[in-house]
Structure 1
Amino acid sequence: MPSGGFVHAYYISTLLQVLEPAGISRKQLLHGTGIAETDAQATLNLSASQLDTACTNALSLSKDSQLGLKFGSQISIASQGIFGYALMTSATIGDALNLLVRYNRVILPSIGVQLERHEDQLELWVKAAHLPQDLQRFYTEVLYAAVINSGGILLGRQTAIINLQLAYASSKNLAQYHAIFGPEVRFNAPRSAMFFDYASLNSAISTSNPIARDIFKRECDRLISRDVSGGMVSERVQQILLQTGSEFPTSAKVAQLLHMSESTLQRHLTKEGNRFQSLLDQVRYRLAGEYLKGTNLPVSEIACLLGFSDAANFRRSFRRWSGTTPSEVRQAATSTAHQAWPR
Structure 2
Amino acid sequence: MAVNVPHATAAKAFRLRLASLGISPLEVIETASLGRGTTASVQSPPTVYEVLETAVAMSGDTTLAIKIGNGLDLAGYGTYGFALMSCSDMGAALELFLRYGHAFFPQPCSWHRSVSKDGIILRLQQNAGTIYQQMLVTELAFSQMNYANKLLVAKPAEGVRVSFSYPKPAHFGVYQKTWPFPMKFDQEYTEIFMPDRWLRQRVRTGDPTTNVLFSQQCEELVSGMTEADETTVLVRRLLIHSAGNFLNFSEIAEQLYVTERTLRRRLATEGTDFRTISDDIRNTLAQNYLRKTSLSIVEIADLLNFSEATNFHRAFQRWNSTTPADYRKRGSP
Report the equivalent of 2:176: 178
Deviations 1:243-270 (A, max 9, x none): xxxxxxxxxxxxxxxxxxxxxxxxxxxx
Q: 1:193 and 2:196 equivalent?
A: no
Report the equivalent of 2:90: 93
Report the equivalent of 2:69: 72
Q: For the residues of structure 1 that align with 2:179 and 2:48, how far apart are their CA atoms?
A: 26
Q: 1:107 and 2:110 equivalent?
A: no
Q: For the residues of structure 2 that align with 1:204 and 1:183, how far apart are their CA atoms?
A: 20
Shift of 1:14: 0.7
Shift of 1:63: 4.7
Q: 1:15 and 2:18 equivalent?
A: yes
Give the structure-1-normalised TM-score: 0.56
- Counterpart mapping for 1:287-326 below 5 A: none
SS of structure 2 residue aligned to 1:130:
coil
Q: For the residues of structure 2 that align with 1:85 and 1:48, how far apart are their CA atoms?
A: 29
Pair 33,211 (structure 1): closer, same or farther in 2 beyond 3 Å: farther
Report the equivalent of 2:124: 126
Q: For the residues of structure 1 that align with 2:31 and 2:219, how far apart are their CA atoms?
A: 30
Pair 208,155 (structure 1): closer, same or farther in 2 beyond 3 Å: closer
Q: For the residues of structure 2 that align with 1:74 and 1:56, how far apart are their CA atoms?
A: 18
Pair 147,161 (structure 1): closer, same or farther in 2 beyond 3 Å: farther
User: CA RMSD, aligned part only?
Assistant: 3.0
Report the equivalent of 2:25: 26
**Structure 2 unaligned residues grouped into runs of 5+:** 34-43, 228-290, 293-330
SS of structure 2 residue aligned to 1:194:
strand
Report the equivalent of 2:211: 213
Shift of 1:101: 1.3
Deviations 1:109-145 (A, max 9, x none): 3311122211123212211133332232222211211
Q: Does structure 2 conserve the Cα–Cα contact (< 8 Å) formed by 1:104 and 1:113?
A: no
Aligned match for 1:204, one of 191, 202, 209: 202
Q: Does structure 2 conserve the Cα–Cα contact (< 8 Å) formed by 1:96 and 1:154?
A: no
Task: Give the AA of the match of 1:77.
Answer: L
Report the equivalent of 1:141: 139
Pair 221,163 (structure 1): closer, same or farther in 2 beyond 3 Å: same
Q: For the residues of structure 1 that align with 2:7 and 2:170, how far apart are their CA atoms?
A: 36
Q: For the residues of structure 1 that align with 2:225 and 2:32, how far apart are their CA atoms?
A: 18
Q: For the residues of structure 2 that align with 1:48 and 1:116, how far apart are their CA atoms?
A: 33
Q: Does structure 2 conserve the Cα–Cα contact (< 8 Å) formed by 1:167 and 1:190?
A: yes
Q: Does structure 2 conserve the Cα–Cα contact (< 8 Å) formed by 1:4 and 1:223?
A: no
Report the equivalent of 1:265: none
Aligned match for 1:54, one of 51, 55, 59: 51
Report the equivalent of 1:227: 225
Shift of 1:49: 5.2
Task: Give the AA of the match of 1:209.
Answer: D
Q: For the residues of structure 1 that align with 2:208 and 2:113, how far apart are their CA atoms?
A: 23
Q: Does structure 2 conserve the Cα–Cα contact (< 8 Å) formed by 1:166 and 1:186?
A: yes
**Structure 1 unaligned residues grouped into runs of 5+:** 35-46, 230-293, 296-333, 335-343
Shift of 1:64: 3.8
SS of structure 1 residue aligned to 2:30:
coil
Shift of 1:170: 0.5
SS of structure 1 residue aligned to 2:201:
coil
Q: For the residues of structure 2 that align with 1:213 and 1:5, how far apart are their CA atoms?
A: 22
Report the equivalent of 2:237: none
Report the equivalent of 2:297: none
Task: Give the AA of the match of 1:16.
Answer: A
Q: Does structure 1 conserve the Cα–Cα contact (< 8 Å) formed by 2:49 and 2:137?
A: no
User: Which has the higher Rg, Structure 1 or Structure 2?
Assistant: 2
Shift of 1:104: 1.6
Task: Give the AA of the match of 1:179.
Answer: K
Shift of 1:223: 2.1
Shift of 1:54: 2.7
- Counterpart mapping for 1:145-164 below 5 A: 145-164=143-162
Deviations 1:4-52 (A, max 9, x none): 423321211212333x2xxx53332121678xxxxxxxxxxxx985544
Q: For the residues of structure 2 that align with 1:206 and 1:25, how far apart are their CA atoms?
A: 34
Pair 164,199 (structure 1): closer, same or farther in 2 beyond 3 Å: same
Percentage of matched positions with identical amino acids? 19
Q: For the residues of structure 1 that align with 2:123 and 2:90, how far apart are their CA atoms?
A: 16
Shift of 1:166: 1.0
Shift of 1:207: 1.6
Q: Does structure 2 conserve the Cα–Cα contact (< 8 Å) formed by 1:56 and 1:135?
A: yes
Which consecutive segments of 4 or more residues in structure 1 shift more than 6 A? none
Deviations 1:231-290 (A, max 9, x none): xxxxxxxxxxxxxxxxxxxxxxxxxxxxxxxxxxxxxxxxxxxxxxxxxxxxxxxxxxxx
Shift of 1:86: 0.7
Q: For the residues of structure 2 that align with 1:49 and 1:179, how far apart are their CA atoms?
A: 31
Task: Give the AA of the match of 2:14.
Answer: Y
Task: Give the AA of the match of 1:190.
Answer: E
